[in-house]
Structure 1
Amino acid sequence: MDNLYDAIQSGAIKANAVSDRITNFEKEQQLIETLLMDLIGREVPERNVEEFQSLISLIGKEWNYLTFEEQKVMIRKIIKKVTLAKNKTVKIT
């Protein structure tokens, strides 16, 4: 979105040419922020694995737009434990 705003400000493109795209980005950003706050505020029940996987997929698409603190919270919510066996295999729960 920043790139679009910069292009509009510099006159490279007209605002009306990308207004729908900006609106869609803003709606998607709001949805992701809402889902993130919901996930941070609760434990995800194991019986609802499909919903959890869908949410993780959606957040994964926007991972680079999360702050470092938000990324840490997400990782802590997603990963219960990491086990390193003697044969150097890693198990993530």
Structure 2
Amino acid sequence: MCGAQAGGPDPSTAKFGETTIQGNVTKDGEPVTGYVRLLDATGEFTAEVPTSATGQFRFYAAEGTWTVRALVPGGTAERKVVAEQGGLADVAIAV
């Protein structure tokens, strides 16, 4: 069992200037549990977190272009995200 916190890191652990990339994953309009991966601009794996019971996830990252990929039972989907320093990127992923 991994030590990852469902939904992603605790907001109180964010460092000054980091971007928050967060959102939720749904399938057929309902929240779904699974995993969400964060890939850098070249497609390289950077991080992975399990979703919460309500399909929520959160990452802290540097500014730049990222891909957020949801991996849930029965499907995958991804979204491109452009993160600005110190900003918040809210991402909805429907599988």
Q: Output the TM-score relative to the length of structure 1.
A: 0.18
Between Structure 1 and Structure 2, the one with more strand by share is 2
Q: Output the TM-score relative to the length of structure 2.
A: 0.18
Between Structure 1 and Structure 2, the one with more helix by share is 1
User: Which protein is bigger by CA-based radius of gyration?
Assistant: 1
